[in-house]
Amino acid sequence: MTRSPMFTRWTAASAALAATCLLLVSAAPATAATVLEGPVGLGTAAGFGVLSASTVTNTGSSVITGDVGVSPGTAIEGFPPGIIDGVQHSADAEAAQAQSDLTTAYNVAASLTPTQTGLGELTGLSLTPGVYSGGELSLNGELTLDGSAESVWVFQAASTLTAGSGASINLINGASACNVFWQVGSSATLGSASRFVGSVMAKASITAVTGATVTGRLLAETGAVTLDSNVITAPTGCDAGSTDVSTSPTITSGTPTAATVGAPYSFTVTATGTPAATFAVTSGALPAGLALDSTTGEITGVPTTVGDSTFTITASNGTAPDATASYPLTVAAAAVVAPPTVPSAAPLVPAVPVVPSADTADKYELAATGAEPNLTLLPVGAFLLLGGLAALLRRRHLARSA
Torsion sign over Cα 9, 11, 12, 18: positive
Query: Which of 104-118, 134-148, 344-358 is the least confident region?
Result: 344-358
Query: Which of 76-80, 164-168, 356-360 is the least confident region?
Result: 356-360
Give the integer Cα–Cα distance in Å for 242 and 32. 20
Residue 348: is its pLDDT beyond 80?
no
Give the integer Cα–Cα distance in Å for 217 and 200. 6
State the amino acid at position 45 in one-letter form: A
Q: What is the pLDDT of residue 338?
A: 73
Q: What is the mean pLDDT of residues 51-75?
A: 98
Domain positions in the chain: 34-233, 249-332, 358-401
Residue 304: is its pLDDT beyond 70?
yes
Residue 297: is its pLDDT beyond 50?
yes
How does residue 12 score in pLDDT terms, banded at 50, 70 and 90? Answer: very low
Percent of the chain with pLDDT over 70: 78
User: Which CATH number describes the domain made up of 249-332?
Assistant: 2.60.40.10
